[in-house]
Structure 1
Amino acid sequence: MITRLLVANRAEIASRVFRTARRLGIETVAVHSDADADLPFVAEADHAVRLPGNAPADTYLRADLVIEAAKVAGADAIHPGYGFLSENAEFARAVEAAGLVWIGPAPESIEQMGSKIEAKKIMASAGVPVLEAPASPVEADLPLLVKASAGGGGRGMRIVRSLDALTTEIAAAEAEAASAFGDGTVFVEPYVEAGRHVEVQVVGDGAGNVAVFGERDCSVQRRHQKVVEESPAPLLPDAVRSALHEAARNAAAAIDYRGAGTVEFLYDAATERFWFLEMNTRLQVEHPVTELVHGVDLVELQIAVAEGVSGVVSTSSTTDVNGHAIEVRLYAEDPSADYQPQSGVLTKLEFQSDARIDAGYTSGSEVSTFYDAMLAKVIVHAPTREAAIRRLVSVLRTAKIHGLVTNREQLIGILGSDAFRSGEVTTALLAKEIFLSSAEDPGAPVAAAIALAERTRRPGIPVAWRNVVNQPQRTVFEDGSEDGVTVEWYGTRDGYRIDGFDVIEAGQERVVLEKDGLRTTYAVAIEGDRIDVDSSFGHTALRKRPRFTDPATQTQPGSLLAPMPGSVVNVLAEAGSSVTEGQPLLVLEAMKMQHTVTAPTDGVLTQINVTPGTQVAAGEVLAVVEEAE
């Protein structure tokens, strides 16, 4: 029996495993980097061990440090979560060699599925359909997909639509794969343009018995990373569903799989054919939707299998489905700026709902640049898919998420779109449209201006009151538009006067406005120059524009600014060279993704301020391009 469990991971997944361990009466141990020391998962654990440093390579990817932490804490088992060392066969072996219980599959199974190239060979032998890589790419094979053999999560993956670009894209994929997984091996296969990503949850006992817990549709992806997941998969013919389950069972049985795992498939709805993509030999990020529709705790099953509980697989297999579950991943990123990750203080994270929230952060948490940008998973369960969509939109719309730009509005836009509601989504959905939902709320800036004015008001004296009024007060906000938004208002003995609005209630945190007979309550949160306004219309983020601009903050024309904090991976041009619009000049890495900075115009690269390895802050001048005459 396991008595003390160390989770070799961080944030949301560590908290998730701790929750089940506590219910089972198992003590918990957290390991954490310096950047993560104040995150909730550390406080939630019964014990915690520091891993000095911040970079994953110095902390969560150090197998020796993690095992030593388990010994220091007196743990008798290790759960790897997902990512980091969760699919590292040598780590699994080292855990077992240290006399600890490894809550995962046998190291041999991890190795067999760890290489996508070898995994395809095993699956083909087991009768599972696979996509055959072209022997020598020709025009008829286009488009092609370059994929990292050792990893996942969209890293080391490139779509190639021109053979002229194949060599370049392979090199880029190899570099990203080597950085993310320590293995730059890639392979090429045909790219199914309008495919659906459907995966099957399995649990094996290591002796050939495999339980299947339905399937999930994870087709809504950006940069080949999942954003929305649901179970059961919509619009899936019963015959296809059964065939997918059987193929997944055969895949797991072929390697005597032990514990929880996921077999991923690419499904072509037009032909009703599917092909094996890969097997994740670990728990998946999206496992909660399976838990909710099947009434099972997958982490509990993982622990039971690791403890050798007899009959757990054969008695737990179920085909019964209860309702529909949908999960969305809330990321600290800006979809309108090519999904640039965001870092800084998450001043507020609150959900006014009883939905399942698996979060790695809380109000006041610092989101660093060292790890994935996912803040939380928001999961709902309802009797029907339509009811689940409606409820999830409501949960997202009423949430208070302040301090950082997130993909919340995009998630609301996706869920409300005709494409998603119809169930006919493919992996190409977000390549066509980013689905940004932004409710127009002219009252939000007005509420912000009033709340700011209330902070300066002296008791008993009308705010900004004048005996002779010759012009209104003006408050200007940055709202993402070029000109910003200006609110003109008057302070009178009878309160505020603003054209088009009646001010029913004015306060520093609560403002009630009425316009054309419709009364709306606004919650206003002010942190420095940032103002977050929440109402039934949704969320509006504003910044108060200063009356005067500091000349020291100005940059010279043509300056290329770092879009986010990160590390310079590569410099692709030299100072003094001629460049063309769109030409790649620098490559930055932040939050496990690489971002290319390109020339904004034709001209001369007059200045380069960084070299490979340089750490840069958001807004820092990386280079200067002088526009051609």
Structure 2
Amino acid sequence: MFTKILIANRGEIACRVIKTARRLGIATVAVYSEADVNARHVRLADEAVLIGGAEARDSYLKTERILKAARETGAQAIHPGYGFLSENADFAEACLQAGLVFIGPPTSAIRAMGSKSAAKSLMEKAGVPLTPGYHGDQQDADFLAAQAERIGYPVLIKAAAGGGGKGMRRVDQPQDFAASLTSCKREAINAFGDDHVLVEKYVLKPRHIEIQVFADSAGNYVYLFERDCSVQRRHQKVLEEAPAPGMTPERRAAMGKAAVDAAKAVGYVGAGTVEFIANQDGSFYFMEMNTRLQVEHPVTEMITGLDLVEWQLRVAAGEPLPLTQEQLTIQGHAIEARIYAEDPEKGFLPSTGRLVHLAPPADSDHVRIDTGVEQGDEITPFYDPMIAKLIVWDHSREQALARLRKALTQYRIVGVANNTEFLARLVTCPSFANADLDTGLIEREQGALFPVAAPVPETAWYLAALAELLHESDTARQETTQASPWQMLDGWRLNGQSQRIISLHHSEDRHDIGVTSVAGGWNLSLGESLVFARGTLGANGQIHAQLGERRLHAAVVTAGERRHVFLEGRAWPLARVDNLHTGGEGEEAGGGLRAPMPGKIVALLAQSGTLLEKGAPLLVMEAMKMEHTIHAPARGTVKAFRCAVGEQVTDGVELVEYEVAP
């Protein structure tokens, strides 16, 4: 076995490999870019080497820099993770030429499976079922159109060197073929430097089922069952589960044999995944083989009780497979949800910024979190915006689904837009709950998955106000150095009750919550509503509250002026309005105006040096799906802007240098 390995990757997969290596007593070397100086995988590794600039092409895709780091640190092998150089045959060969073990398949297998069309020719010879289509080298537009007519519409045009949904078009009628072909080729050449395409029959209501295979250098092959990855958006996986719902033992054996035949056809060694398109009637067709570990490998680990990274390391070190096919069994059901910094309401656009608050559900025998970030880390624009993979396991699919629903409601993220609420809706929609799965599920369930925005519930306003009061009380108690009634914020008054207003707003909706101190708590009023409130604060913003006769557990996380209320699987960013600022001369101040929250600068609205009146708009920030305008605190001038349009800023950073007029 190796004593030291280098991990040529970043993020959660680098952290995942480090975890297994540490358990096996193997030292690890991380590589990192200038954007990842403080990244979690760098903190976890035994050693770390800077290999270049923030862009992947300047660091994680630089073969020679990675090999140099391996030589200088004495690493014996390189684990490529997934993405970046993991399926790059030239990189794998360079590792071997440098005297390093590449923890992956032979370069010949990577090259054989690197082209979809070449791979399908190989699979046809091996007897692996193929989708009806044309997989040859002839690329004349009229010829391909004729092939589409022969196959029968609808058809799918696919980039031969593609992946991740790029260079892929569904065509439903002949008159659309030419334009779709041109568009597909253009996207393929831009993404992969190769505009070669193939044309296949488009399977209606297809399921995406993949088989995990493993092989050793002695010629032993096994399959570790299947994963259903049908739930996708724009051909990118969102949820994965194992085993596939509705899979019969006979069909599993047939797909497993086909996957092993595919691996044998290319002399495969190590971990690989053979992906199939499956019809609802049980028939299936080879789609492609990924010559690496998959993002969704944890669901296979959860149902088999195995560590696939350990298997990779042992096989790469020349050891035989730890188990035979007959020794492998399935236990229970596992589901994985990918937690991303993205905005589902805006076409799943990625979100960047600092993770001001990150509180995942607790790890247990039933819940597993694979992540490359921690609270305070940055989601940068340079790499995939994955925050974590949430994996759950239980004895049945129904029980695992209940675990997943619960865990998603416990995930609390502040600082970037994220998809946790979308995922919570997705796993509760009838199609997924009833295992009516196909790759068009998300499009089919648009109404349920993207409902009309509902108003903030009254309970959320009350919780935000109660959290403010509890914070104030706790702070006062901590700062009190002696038992003096004048230092206590308990609402006591010599004559009458203490009354005040807490003002909050969400978008254009503003509420003034009346607060009256009473014995044991506060009376809170909102419009015609009045409720008695009391509670306690816990870790990570948790609040245990009593509102009237109702007791509940929620969380209120403060970030700048925002009070992020997490309640029953939903989150509402409410902004605190400072009613104590009267604008009197003694309170007007210049200096630096700071960002009240993490966000993006949308517009600069004032000119430097121009005399402005109090309240004049200075700039606009966008954060958490809302715009926020920074106003002049007093009559004066902008001396300088410390930010630019399009810039992502963190909370508390200086935005404007402002000078109050005399």
Give the TM-score range, shorter chain. 0.7 to 0.9
Is residue 553 from structure 1 mapped to residue 619 from structure 2 by the alignment? yes
Whether the 8 Å CA contact 2:498–2:516 is kept in 1: the answer is: no
Residue 554 (structure 2) aligns with = 522
1:215-248 deviation digits (Å, cap 9, x = unpaired): 1101111111111111111112332222111111
Structure 1 residue 180: Cα displacement: 4.4
Cross-structure match for 2:428: 416
**Aligned-residue offset at 1:398:** 1.5
The aligned residue for residue 339 of structure 2 is 330
Alignment counterpart, residue 309 of structure 2, candidates 296, 299, 304: 299
The answer (yes or no) to whether the contact 1:266–1:277 under 8 Å persists in 2 is yes
Asked if residue 257 in structure 1 is aligned to residue 268 in structure 2, the reply is yes
- The 3 A distance-change label for structure 1 pair 70 and 464 is farther
AA matched with 1:329: R
Contact 1:209–1:253 under 8 Å retained in 2: no
Q: Map of 1:56-71 to 2, 5 A cutoff? A: 56-71=56-71
Q: In structure 2, how many angstroms separate the alpha carbons of the residues matched to 1:201 and 1:266?
A: 15
Question: Which region of structure 1 is more displaced relative to structure 2, 313-322 or 184-193?
Answer: 313-322
Q: Report the equivalent of 1:344.
A: 353
| Alignment-derived partner of residue 404 in structure 1 | 416
Provide TM-score, normalisation by structure 1: 0.81
Q: Paired residue for 1:489, among 508, 514, 534?
A: 514
In the other structure, the counterpart of 1:95 is 95
> In structure 1, the residue corresponding to 2:443 is in which secondary structure?
helix
Question: 1:77 and 2:143 equivalent?
Answer: no
Report the Cα distance in structure 2 between the residues aligned to 1:308 and 1:360, rounded to whole angstroms. 29
Equivalent residues of 1:453, 1:463 under 8 A apart: no
- CA offset at residue 112 of structure 1? 0.5
Report the CA distance shift for 1:284/1:46 in structure 2 as closer, same or farther (over 3 A).
same
Deviations 1:88-132 (A, max 9, x none): 111100000000001100001000000001111111111111123
1:449 pairs with one of 465, 471, 485: 465
Cα 1:387–1:466 shift into 2, 3 Å: farther
Question: In structure 1, what is the equivalent of residue 629 of structure 2?
Answer: none
Q: How does 1:562-581 map to 2 (within 5 A)?
A: none
- 2:324 paired residue number: 315
Aligned-pair identity in percent equals 40
Worse-superposed segment, 13-22 or 316-325: 316-325
Measure, in 2, the Cα distance between the counterparts of 1:127 and 1:200: 17
| 1:303 counterpart SS class | helix
Match of 2:109 in 1: 109
**Rg (Cα) greater in structure:** 2
Shift in Å at residue 347 of structure 1?
Answer: 1.7
Letter in 2 for 1:290: T
Query: Which residue identity is paired with 2:508?
Result: D
- Aligned-pair distance for 1:491? 3.8
Of residues 345-354 and 24-33 in structure 1, the stretch that sits farther from structure 2 once superposed is 345-354
Q: Which amino acid aligns with 1:344?
A: G
Q: Does the C-alpha gap of structure 1 residues 523 and 314 become closer, same or farther in structure 2, counting only changes over 3 Å?
A: closer
- What is the DSSP-based 3-state SS (H/G/I as helix, E as strand, rest coil) of the residue aligned with 2:52? coil
**Aligned equivalents of 2:616 and 2:495: distance in 1?**
33
In the alignment, what sits opposite 1:544? 575
Contact persistence 1:150–1:183 (CA under 8 A): yes
Report the CA distance between 1:181 and its aligned residue. 4.1
Alpha-carbon offset, residue 394 of structure 1: 1.2
After TM superposition, the score normalised by the length of structure 2 is 0.77
Match of 1:476, as an amino acid? L
**Alignment partner, residue 224 of structure 1:** 235
Distance (whole Å) between structure 2 residues aligned to residue 463 and residue 149 of structure 1: 72
Equivalent in the alignment of 1:35: 35
SS in 1 for 2:324: helix
Cα 1:485/1:141, change in 2 over 3 Å:
farther
Task: Tell me the distance in 1 between the aligned counterparts of 2:20 and 2:273.
Answer: 20
User: Residue 159 of structure 1 aligns to a residue in which SS?
Assistant: strand
| Change over 3 Å in CA distance of 1:550–1:306 after alignment to 2 | farther
Structure 1 residue 351: Cα displacement: 2.6
Q: String of CA shifts for 1:133-174, please: whole Å, max 9, x gaps.
A: 354234984333232322322233333345555455445444
> Secondary structure at the residue paired with 1:308?
coil
Q: Do 2:424 and 2:569's aligned partners in 1 also have CA atoms closer than 8 Å? A: no
Deviation at 1:253, TM superposition (A): 0.8
Q: CA deviation at 1:291?
A: 1.2
Alignment of 1:235-274 (within 5 A): 235-269=246-280, 271-274=281-284
Distance 2:103 2:209 in 1: 25
Paired residue secondary structure (1:413): helix
- 2:133 is paired with a residue whose SS is coil
Taking structure 1 as reference, are residues 470 and 19 closer, same or farther at Cα in structure 2, changes over 3 Å only?
closer
Structure 1 unaligned runs (5+)?
556-560, 565-613, 620-629
Change in 2 beyond 3 A, CA 1:358/1:507? closer
**Could you list the runs of 5+ residues in structure 2 that have no partner in the other structure?**
135-143, 477-486, 579-613, 626-643, 650-662
* Aligned partners of 2:129 and 2:285 also within 8 Å: yes
Instruction: Map Cα deviations across residues 582-628 of structure 1 (whole Å, 9 max, x no partner).
Output: xxxxxxxxxxxxxxxxxxxxxxxxxxxxxxxx995479xxxxxxxxx
Seen in structure 2, the aligned counterparts of structure 1 residues 203 and 554 have a Cα distance that, compared at 3 Å, is closer
The match for 1:475 among 485, 492, 503 is: 503
Q: Which residue of 2 aligns with 1:54?
A: 54
Residue pairs, 1:202-217, within 5 angstroms? 202-206=213-217, 208-217=219-228
1:375 aligns with 2:387: yes
Equivalent residue for 1:428, pick from 417, 424, 440: 440
* 8 Å contact from structure 1 (residues 211, 318) kept in 2: no
What do you get for the CA RMSD once the two structures are aligned?
A: 3.2
Q: What CA deviation, in whole Å up to 9, does each residue of 1:535-562 have, x standing for no partner?
A: 4x1241314176897523369xxxxx99
Alignment of 1:128-277 (within 5 A): 128-133=128-133, 135-136=144-145, 137-138=148-149, 141-161=152-172, 163=174, 165-206=176-217, 208-269=219-280, 271-277=281-287
Q: Distance in 1 between matches of 2:26 and 2:554?
A: 44
| Post-superposition CA distance 1:232-271 (Å, at most 9, x none) | 11112332222111111111111111000000000001x3
Instruction: Find the aligned partners of 1:545 and 1:182 in 2 and give their Cα distance.
Output: 51
| Counterparts of 1:283 and 1:515, CA distance in 2 | 50
Looking at structure 1, the residues matched to 647 and 179 of structure 2 have their Cα atoms a distance apart, in angstroms, of: 28
Secondary structure of the residue that 1:219 maps to in structure 2? coil
